Structure 1
Amino acid sequence: MAEYSCISIITIACTVLCIICFVLVKIIYHQKRQVMDLHLLTQKDELTQAYTRRYFCEILEYHLKLIQRYNNSSAVLMIDIDNFKEINDTFGHPFGDNVLIQVVRECNHALRESDVIARYGGDEFILLCPLITHEDLIIIAQRVQNALRDFQGVPITLSVGACLFEKTFSASHIIHSADKALYNAKKNGKDRIEFLIP
């Protein structure tokens, strides 16, 4: 009888232990999944699925460390949708959202596999084109600019500012230079590409 009681107690204890282990594994899996989901949220823009500005800056910093070994130049491009406020006001915000999504989609088709696109803010995007010559940069910038000339019957133009850089420049200086080139493109009539070599 005592032997039967011991076996019952051990069986119950093992069952309880198995249930506790199962629950713990499930909790740990759920928490890891949440951490992964949060990590993805910090990497990708929810609307366009381009990278976020923050993650792009991390990629750029990493790239600057890598190119210490090479003498090649790379480039950062700032892209702005011309007259985006008017597009939203005329056709509505859902249409404007679709334009943003399409810009990323078309850029992804036009770019090289190694290029990285991120949403910088609002209707501005930023691109990293690693290890690129000035001639190839012109081709990429024109591809990007020509990617969305017409969207659902609406003419869409892009202004592009490009900064060609080498290993001696900081990430903030590179982004500032590309932004300045974009400002020049907007100031000089929009729907154009301006280059800046700091």
Structure 2
Amino acid sequence: MTDVENEKEKMLKLIYQDPLTEVYNRRKLNEYYAEVIQKDNLSIWVFVFDLDNFKSSNDAFGHAVGDQILIQFSNILMNEFPSNALVSRLGGDEFCVLLPETTHLDILRIQSNIVLKMQEFNLFGVSVSIGKTFARNPRYHELDELLVEADSNMYSQKKSKKIQSK
């Protein structure tokens, strides 16, 4: 690689990558949705993940542990989703994954694996709530619209988990 190519790669990392978790950021998420998903009108699953009790855990165990939880969770997402998925951190303890052209059966398997792997965080009191939505023709849907729907589904799951634990 030439120095120019190295510099370009560094700049792209700074622009599109979350520095802590090294997954993509919201800027890349928006660009990918517009330039790949909408342009090619690929059917898409949009996932939103929120780490339950993360703030309490972060306060109790410290920010270094909290950072490690975020890093490990992003690694779980990267390992469980296929290579054609775009994994991104929306901010804080919220993540988003765009997964084009996938069957519902694959979605259920991926979700189940993520929940199973999250058990390693039980020691810290952290679990995950997952919301998702599907768009058959994303050309007619803005990403923000899909994120709101997936987010709403995630909060419904979070709320039902709280009711079940009472």
Question: Structure 2 length as normaliser, TM-score?
Answer: 0.85
Where in structure 2 are the equivalents of 1:119-198 lying within 5 Å?
119-151=89-121, 153-167=123-137, 168-189=140-161
- CA-to-partner distance for each residue in 1:54-105, whole Å, 9 max, x for gaps? 111111122121126xxxx320100010001111011001000000000011
Per the alignment, residue 108 of structure 1 pairs with: 78
Contact between 2:53 and 2:125, CA under 8 Å: does it hold in 1?
no
- CA-to-partner distance for each residue in 1:150-172, whole Å, 9 max, x for gaps? 14943531000001111132222
Q: 1:175 and 1:152, CA in 2 relative to 1: closer, same or farther beyond 3 A?
A: closer
Distance 1:87 1:52 in 2: 24
Q: Does 1:63 align with 2:37?
A: yes
Aligned amino acid, residue 146 of structure 2? I
Question: Structure 1 length as normaliser, TM-score?
Answer: 0.72
- Tell me the SS of whatever aligns to 1:188: helix
Contact between 1:50 and 1:119, CA under 8 Å: does it hold in 2?
yes
Distance 2:86 2:9 in 1: 21
Contact between 1:134 and 1:164, CA under 8 Å: does it hold in 2?
no
**CA displacement at 1:118 relative to structure 2:** 0.3
Identity %: 30
Aligned amino acid, residue 100 of structure 1? L
Report the aligned-residue RMSD.
Answer: 2.2
Structure 2, gaps ≥5 residues long: none
Distance 2:133 2:122 in 1: 31
Decide which structure has the larger Cα Rg and report it. 1
- Tell me the SS of whatever aligns to 2:66: helix
Structure 1, gaps ≥5 residues long: 1-28, 191-198
Contact between 2:37 and 2:44, CA under 8 Å: does it hold in 1?
no
Where in structure 2 are the equivalents of 1:74-89 lying within 5 Å?
74-89=44-59
Distance 1:65 1:110 in 2: 26
